[in-house]
Amino acid sequence: MIPTPAPAPLLNVILHGAVFLFVLSTFVIALIVWIRRKRETMPAEESESWEIFVLGLFFYMVSEFSDLFTPSLRASLGMHNYFTEFALLVGLAFIFIAMRRRLLIVSEAEQGEQP
């Protein structure tokens, strides 16, 4: 008989489920905002930063979804498999790159307004 892993602890399911739902709702809202603003002729630089942000949220969402089904207590303590860690790090990298690009766009616009 093949041993099967124990089901994920309730704490793991609750925490990763809450984070997954939060990231999913943020992903949907960001996607809607990006598509609506893109129709209103959004500048290319701003559209790229939104695209990177949405892509980062997607990777982060995939990471949290796979964490829901990691069947051990050590998963809830932060030790995951390589796929979830890679997806998490790629997602966070894209999110921070998009935030930095957005900050640079805003600071360039503010400098252009000053005499």
Which tens digit of pLDDT belongs to each residue from 7-18? 557 777 788 889
Q: State pTM to two decimals.
A: 0.77
Residue 52 is given by DSSP the state H
The pLDDT tens digits of the residues spanning 55-88 come to: 999 999 998 888 787 665 555 555 567 778 888 8
Q: Please name the residues in contact with 96: beta carbons below 8 A apart, sequence gap of 6 or more.
A: 56
